Structure 1
Amino acid sequence: MDLATRRVVNTTVGKKAVMAVTGVILVLFLIAHMTGNLKIFLSTESFDHYAHWLRTIGEPLLPYSWFLWIQRIVLLAAVIGHIWSATSLALKAKAARPVKYAHRRPVKGSYAARTMRWGGVIIVLFVVYHILDLTTGHLNPVGDSSRPAGNLIADFAPGRWYVTLFYVVAVLTLAFHLRHGVFSALRTLGQQTQTGERRAKAVALVVAVVIAVGFLAVPLSITTGLIK
């Protein structure tokens, strides 16, 4: 990154743009990941085939599983960029008002906006657990990489309701985070008129609800015995 680019990125507008663009990358990944998870409703064989297909994308140009590693690197860069920009903007806002007001009227804001920080922490912790559980298999009761569907079903079995509960809390936290984040990203990327703001709110709500329902459908169906 050259000096001119660093100067732009380090401005408030630049940081907001970084947060918006990285957020879009992460949302697109969530949609793709959610769609793949829903294949378990077709059959366990369909889900296993999908999991194997992910490792063969790009062959023979790319060696086996390289696509997944490229994807992980891009996602890691997006997560780091997203956290960096969000933290930088929060610190900058705090520094701009170093002395607290003696009498300050409460600022009206959404629940999601007021909880973006701790919500982000919960999501990061869940991602770490999720990787150790269903990617590396260290925390999975089966942990067999050749049986992705078996790992998924064993993970959310009725006896492991606490795992499902943790998953539900994390996904709902993600939904609140998305609703506020997508709205903010759309406004940063140009939707700043009154009509654009209403449109951004509607899109943000739809994205949050669709992703929440899509991700919760699988674990709840397994825990309740709909998927075996």
Structure 2
Amino acid sequence: MATQLTSRTLVKGSRSTRSTIALKITMAVSGLVFIGYLLLHMYGNLKVFAGHDAFNEYAHHLRTLGEPMLPENGLLWVLRVVLLVSLVAHVYAAVVLSHRAHKARPTKYAVKKNIHSSLSSRTMRWGGLALLLFLIWHLLHFTVGKVNPAGGETNDPFNLVYESFELWWMSLLYILAMLALGMHLRHGTWSAAQTLGLTNTARSRARAKAAGWVVAVVIAGGFILVPLSILLGIVSK
């Protein structure tokens, strides 16, 4: 009887471990998908420095990518589906892993770990939730609803961006969200490298930490340049 119970416990533990590893890999892969998308999106946003016509031409080009093999907006919808699937997978894995960690971790251990953990790692959960809420607003603002807080037109991409970020509170909201994104990316990049087995040596761990900082600064910094430059008058209509 004891042997049977031990065997069942080991099998259950093995399945749980495999499930946890699968969820961590899901988080890592979906996170890398988002990093790739954010780099492309950030690069496109920087077209604002080329002026009104160049930015609007870029926005129009996005809608016609893949033609004539795909209809207008066809490739965009493919990308949206991939991102949506990645988002659902990422959030699901994060929630399940967080729940498991909370159940398995003693309170004293959690407090001790928090003392030695970085700010980025401690804010991953709430920072992720804040970013999810910001993403919903961002889509309503620029993509789905196209809301112009300044009251101007919404069918001109450059003017929508420019007039939105002329408002100091809109720029501040966006900049704060990008700082939160940078913190999330810094720790997320490290975690993804660790999950994928890329931090087995001291040198590889140092490279992973450096990569986290580079990804965070490049992406968050690139996004922040747009509202900051509009707010300071560096970019004009």
Distance 1:60 1:89, change over 3 A: same
**TM-score in terms of structure 2 length:** 0.87
Within-5 A mapping of 1:60-209 = 60-97=68-105, 100-101=107-108, 105=112, 107=114, 108-140=116-148, 141-145=151-155, 147-157=156-166, 160-192=167-199, 193-209=201-217
1:106 deviation in Å?
A: 5.1
TM (norm. structure 1) is 0.90
| Larger Rg computed on CA atoms | 2
Unmatched segments (≥5 aa) in structure 1: 1-6
Q: How many percent of aligned residue pairs carry the same amino acid?
A: 42
Pairwise CA distance, 1:103: 10
User: What is the SS of the residue equivalent to 1:156?
Assistant: helix
> Counterpart in 2 of 1:3?
none
Cα gap change, 1:17 to 1:8, in 2 (>3 Å): farther
**Which structure is higher in helix share?**
2
Query: Following superposition of structure 1 onto structure 2, how do residues 49-68 of structure 1 map, counting pairs within 5 Å?
Result: 49-68=57-76
Other structure's SS at 1:227 match: coil
Shift of residue 144, structure 1, vs aligned partner: 2.5
More divergent stretch after superposition (172-181 vs 128-137): 128-137
Which consecutive residues of structure 2, in runs of 5 or more, have no partner in the other structure?
Answer: 1-14
**1:215: how far off?**
0.2
CA contact (8 A) 1:9 1:18 kept: no
Aligned CA distance change for structure 1 residues 52 and 126 (closer, same or farther; 3 Å): same
